Structure 1
């Protein structure tokens, strides 16, 4: 009776080992809502990462064809505070070669290399290639045995050494600090689900033929990405998600984005039709926390740059301006640009008000800088998604400056200023006003500018221009803002004051034409909102946005009655439930 029992145990053990790699993950606890990412290679192997019989510590989807992981899914361990504890050796996964092998990873030895290298990478594949064995699940995010378990070749992909040790390392450190601080502020009552993955480049493999007798075994990723889902255990309003992706090359840039945008970019890079879904419903993507995350990330990264450069660093304002210029020079910000640098006065030129708007939003978040318009040509757009019809390279010129921090949310200068986790307060001649803790950015869902004052979102006036709507120059210390009024204005160099064209780049007239780039929809002292629609003096009533619910004079169409003709020969919509109506600017029926 003993022998049959032993045989049964062996058979059961073999089946158990097979399930841990080939069929399904042993534990779904590493995935948000216990749901693994969708749309990845269905032929890839699912590995529950086990070390010394303990675990699993995280989950990996591994491509035998590419010999790299497509992703590793893990949770952040907030008890890990240091980078110490690295080990000098790596592990291999026996089950990728033989499902009846041990379920635990094994330490890499020459014997194991020869036995298992057919289906997975070995350290020799990386030797003298210029690529690191780059962790997907970072060792610094785990503690004790969990940290040791990250040193397996099934959790590593070829990362350019410069990219891995500089750009990616900074972002890993920033993510660790950000999650640790956020978890601490929430009393540990949350879980951070993280997925880090690769985009295999079908045209690049290592080792190179010049240095190896077994060349081109391992695919090099073109991009590395990370997605984060922060799930609060008690208050879903505190839950959020975001992602970032970087090019795997020496000067590869990394960009932070929404999870839905990351899904789309991965899909496009894979060149596939099927959708990519990293998290269920993109994990609270509608909580609008992305801008706050961007600000905190950039502050941390800038601080790391400052610490690295030490005494050689410029002033903080000059450092922010330098970072902004470097980012603007990066091709990922704008496709066409021109720089004029003279005595640290930096001017940027853009081919349209739209490219200006998109670039400046990024610079506000990434470098804490504003770019104040000094000149704008009166160009006309035929469509918001197209460039200005003139196609000139300097349609908008702006002066790159540090954002003014000692100001109220309406742009007024403060005599005293305090900013805490809970609120931002500005004192002006004894009056207390709210101020911004985060950049003042346009919010599409409310068609106006918003920032956070501590934890509260408030209306704000951005720093954006030094030119009035008539083209006259504002005082340098008094750029266009609302300053407590319901319109934008500034004090002029020539004396007196005048209205400014508001920063409403999508404003549109009731005749269907977009407002001129230097004359957005506003009252300009009259009793109704209007704008010029060409350079010949034609004007019309207008809406502040080109969406389906914006009506003239700042009104909003009823939620169940989008802008349209509705049987008339003009655009209109109901603006309340008492049958009051107004003209509007876009046909959505």
Structure 2
């Protein structure tokens, strides 16, 4: 099986760009010879509009770049956006800063600021490397994926040295029906097209050992709500593009997947279980593999790449990113055989037939639980995530923590069928009623009790808890009504009306009151859709409002 790193894009493209990260000035060119080193095999992506202008280091549609491991220890910094000296001249061909004013859209990087250093970083801070991205999409969803991509690629590049190159292309899908600036706020409105989606394609090429090469791509809807980011990945996943189109509900995208993924293995270390869950949730989607926790004890790792040591705290963890050894059912049970019935995966296990996942098992914020697709049906699932119990004992290698048909996470720790124990569930934002977060190796669960509880510190202080710190998450897994999020509502404790027609205690309300412009939503009008297709809220008593999103205050 050969590695396929060239993907055919049949989108209706207007212009094509590549950001060279060398010069801060942009220019139209007749070919990409001046910046061909940023393309795999020095070849630009195919399937583009033949009438499109080729522009080195400008935006309109895609940006090709490489990841330099020498920049790995340098975090991203705030941009001082550069602009050409004659704004009136460039205004006819590209966006200018005033186009973004009072729109709710960020100047979103295509070539990420954090992927470059020195003059290369300066070059990313130009409007020719910016596309209008929803503020919450840019600052939360897409930022997490950029961070995860660096986490995946940097250790590989450092390990492989000069024998490998990570070629990356990030681009946009134009939406002809949405433009900025808005008519209400600009004398020269609707000049700049807002993309409906943002996508990234990666080709990791090892120059001497092709078994270490791999490729993948992912795409997300440019919106404040969960963007439905999906990954095109391994050849055994069928109809991947169709699932992406269903997830993004777009008829404007027509493409054929040519991407195949090689085996990806790596040992990863994290300062905390919170960081582990945040990053590896996306790594599962990248490679179809799991990063199984192997240690949850103080770690001291001398790492020149990071120029520091991993935290010695009690929740520092280490995991092994591995491909699935064997097909499992959605609940984690090992399959003795797998069949395709009615377009969905079916697993034969211990004399039973159980559904299995065609796509990675990922956390769904809206449902406050893990879901995957089996055929076209979305079903509950148990993600592979740990080889240790909540007491930090080791699970049997072939039986990692999972639900295995029960309503709690557990694993076998010794001889079957007697030695087993509970696992801390993969909930990285569970919170106690007292407002403290659950201890990262002891997430909110029953652990054999009649109620959900968790430890909140290393002294084994405990309290009742909620599965998530989301402002619509109530105790014991209930969901607050969309028009009545978690709050005090005239009482001295946090509570909400729940979707089952009753009420329950809840654990957090802070994330419901943050607007994009850093103002605070009115306490009686938290961030929500309120009859529209975007998140917004009133910020005062005289009718002023703004776009908003959970967790966007930073």
Query: How would you bin the TM-score normalised by the shorter chain?
Result: 0.5 to 0.7
CA distance in 1, matches of 2:455, 2:484: 27
Q: Which one of the candidate residues 345, 349, 352 is aligned to 1:424?
A: 345
**Which residue in 1 is equivalent to 2:321?**
400
Residues 532, 540 of structure 1: 8 Å contact kept: yes
Structure 2: state its 5+ residue gaps.
1-9, 68-108, 132-141, 151-156, 158-163, 175-189, 199-220, 235-239, 245-255, 300-309, 511-522, 524-554
Structure 1 residue 369, shift from structure 2 partner: 1.9
Deviations 1:80-117 (A, max 9, x none): xxxxxxxxxxxxxxxxxxxxxxxxxxxxxxxxxxxxxx
Q: Which one of the candidate residues 288, 313, 329 is aligned to 1:368?
A: 288
Structure 1 residue 476, shift from structure 2 partner: 1.0
After superposing the two structures, state which structure 1 stretch, 546-555 or 356-365, moved more.
356-365
The 5 Å alignment of 1:561-580 reads 561-576=484-499, 578=501, 580=502
**Which residue in 1 is equivalent to 2:249?**
none
CA distance in 1, matches of 2:130, 2:339: 35
Equivalent pairs counted in the alignment come to: 360
CA distance in 1, matches of 2:429, 2:64: 40
Q: Which one of the candidate residues 465, 471, 478 is aligned to 2:392?
A: 471
Structure 1: state its 5+ residue gaps.
1-29, 33-56, 70-119, 168-195, 206-218, 228-241, 261-273, 307-318, 326-346, 380-388
Greater Rg by CA: 1
**Which residue in 2 is equivalent to 1:22?**
none
Deviations 1:382-407 (A, max 9, x none): xxxxxxx9764971122332224411
SS in 2 for 1:278: strand
Q: Which one of the candidate residues 291, 294, 306 is aligned to 2:230?
A: 291
SS in 2 for 1:320: coil
CA distance in 1, matches of 2:396, 2:18: 60
The 5 Å alignment of 1:429-444 reads 429-444=350-365
Structure 1 residue 504, shift from structure 2 partner: 0.5
**Which residue in 2 is equivalent to 1:542?**
465
Structure 1 residue 451, shift from structure 2 partner: 0.9
CA distance in 2, matches of 1:406, 1:587: 40
Residues 231, 286 of structure 2: 8 Å contact kept: no
Give the TM-score of the pair, scaled to structure 2.
0.53
CA 1:300/1:474 → structure 2, altered by over 3 Å: closer, same or farther?
farther
CA distance in 1, matches of 2:334, 2:40: 48
SS in 2 for 1:141: coil
Give the TM-score of the pair, scaled to structure 1.
0.50
CA distance in 1, matches of 2:485, 2:226: 25
Structure 1 residue 357, shift from structure 2 partner: 1.3
The 5 Å alignment of 1:5-154 reads 58-59=14-15, 68=26, 120-121=28-29, 140-141=46-47, 147=50, 149=51, 154=53
Q: Which of the two has greater helix per residue?
A: 1
Larger RCO, structures 1/2 (Cα 8 Å, 6+ apart) = 2
Structure 1 residue 584, shift from structure 2 partner: 0.9
SS in 1 for 2:339: strand
**Which residue in 2 is equivalent to 1:353?**
273
Structure 1 residue 412, shift from structure 2 partner: 0.7
**Which residue in 1 is equivalent to 2:421?**
498
Structure 1 residue 535, shift from structure 2 partner: 1.5
**Which residue in 2 is equivalent to 1:552?**
475
CA 1:302/1:476 → structure 2, altered by over 3 Å: closer, same or farther?
farther
Structure 1 residue 431, shift from structure 2 partner: 2.3
CA 1:352/1:467 → structure 2, altered by over 3 Å: closer, same or farther?
same
Give the CA RMSD over aligned residues.
5.3
The 5 Å alignment of 1:111-510 reads 120-121=28-29, 140-141=46-47, 147=50, 149=51, 154-157=53-56, 251-252=165-166, 254=168, 278-279=194-195, 289-293=228-232, 296=240, 303=260, 319-321=263-265, 325=266, 347-377=267-297, 392=313, 395-419=316-340, 422-493=343-414, 495-510=418-433
Structure 1 residue 458, shift from structure 2 partner: 1.0
CA 1:122/1:401 → structure 2, altered by over 3 Å: closer, same or farther?
closer
CA 1:394/1:448 → structure 2, altered by over 3 Å: closer, same or farther?
closer
**Which residue in 2 is equivalent to 1:581?**
503
CA distance in 1, matches of 2:359, 2:130: 24
CA 1:514/1:390 → structure 2, altered by over 3 Å: closer, same or farther?
farther
Residues 436, 453 of structure 1: 8 Å contact kept: yes
After superposing the two structures, state which structure 1 stretch, 484-493 or 132-141, moved more.
132-141
Structure 1 residue 366, shift from structure 2 partner: 1.8
CA distance in 2, matches of 1:255, 1:391: 37
Residues 420, 454 of structure 1: 8 Å contact kept: no
Deviations 1:234-278 (A, max 9, x none): xxxxxxxx999899x994553879989xxxxxxxxxxxxx99863
CA 1:529/1:130 → structure 2, altered by over 3 Å: closer, same or farther?
closer
Structure 1 residue 422, shift from structure 2 partner: 2.7
Structure 1 residue 559, shift from structure 2 partner: 2.1
SS in 2 for 1:303: coil
CA 1:528/1:256 → structure 2, altered by over 3 Å: closer, same or farther?
farther
